[in-house]
Amino acid sequence: MTGCGRTDSGVHANVYCANFRTNCTVPADRIPLAVNAHLPGDIAVSDAMEAPDDFNAISSCLQKEYVYKILNTKIRDPFLENRVCFYPRHLDISLMKAAGKAFEGTHDFSAVRSLGTPVKSTVRTVKWCKVEKDGDIISIYICADGFLYNMCRAIAGTLVYASCGKLCPEDIPSLLDKADRRLTGPTMPPQGLYLNRLWYEEPVGKMFTI
């Protein structure tokens, strides 16, 4: 089986894609029911289809969107335990939005990655980095053509640093140019991160159309 990516323990996925080859005669539309009977309660297969022979869940993915969720209130919510990052200090949404904009575009993202699996290039294109607030929940949406190890969590940490005045949003382009991980924000806890959206060409892309 080939999955569309892997990440740290504690991170979640609202969507995920995996491909495999099989001689099974069960119709594709019945596979979710068959597989879910053997899965734990916190994971479920929602759809299945026959894919082209050259389809690969990793290399065929056009872009991904992650969302990082922060519970920004002084009192934690026990029902959101391990589902958000609890952050009691007030966060300035306007500064976070400005900092997010600074990450958009094609850059070397070495300054917001952790050492992990070697990669051929640390250059990626961020399509958007948006910040929204709904009640006490702050959501950071990051869409890119690819992600480096801990990139989303480090970007989220940098936005938090900008909100706290530890760096200015307008400083971010120069920090990316310096490619020094020590100059940007911390890697936020994994519990707030979700793989949120996936893009593929048809016919597989139909399963992920919102």
d(CA 204, CA 208): 8
- Could you report the per-residue pLDDT of 50-90, keeping only the tens digit for each? 999 999 999 999 999 999 999 999 999 999 999 999 999 99
Distance CA 198, CA 65 (A): 7
Q: Token digits for 119?
A: 């990669």
Q: Output the pTM of the full model.
A: 0.94
CA pair distance 128, 135, nearest whole angstrom: 22
Which pLDDT does position 209 carry in this prediction?
78
**What number of other Cβ atoms are within 10 A of residue 49's Cβ?**
11
Q: Where are the domains of the chain?
A: 63-197
Whether 121 and 127 have beta carbons less than 8 Å apart is answered as no
What are the residues whose beta carbons fall under 8 Å from the beta carbon of 79, sequence distance 6 or more?
none
Integer Cα distance of 153 and 188 in angstroms: 5
Quick one: tokens of 156? 């989220």
DSSP class of residue 195 equals E
Q: CB-hemisphere CA count at 13 Å for 71?
A: 16
Percent of the chain with pLDDT strictly greater than 70: 100
Task: Provide the 3-class DSSP secondary structure of residue 130.
Answer: strand
Asked whether residue 146 carries a pLDDT value surpassing 90, the answer given is: yes
**pLDDT, tens only, 7-39:** 788 999 999 999 999 998 889 999 999 999 999
Can you name the CATH fold of 63-197? Alpha-Beta Plaits (3.30.70)
Tokens of 162: 């900008």
Catalytic residues: 8
Q: Within its chain, how far is the Cα of 169 from the centroid?
A: 21
Q: For residue range 148-166, what is the model confidence (pLDDT) as tens digits?
A: 999 999 999 999 999 999 9
Query: What's the rounded mean pLDDT across residues 177-196?
Result: 95
- Determine the pLDDT at residue 210: 64
Cβ atoms 149, 7 nearer than 8 A:
no
Average pLDDT over residues 121-127: 96
Q: Where are the alpha helices (DSSP H) in 30-188?
A: 31-36, 93-103, 151-163, 172-178
Confidence of residue 192 (pLDDT cuts 50, 70, 90): very high
116 pLDDT higher than 80? no
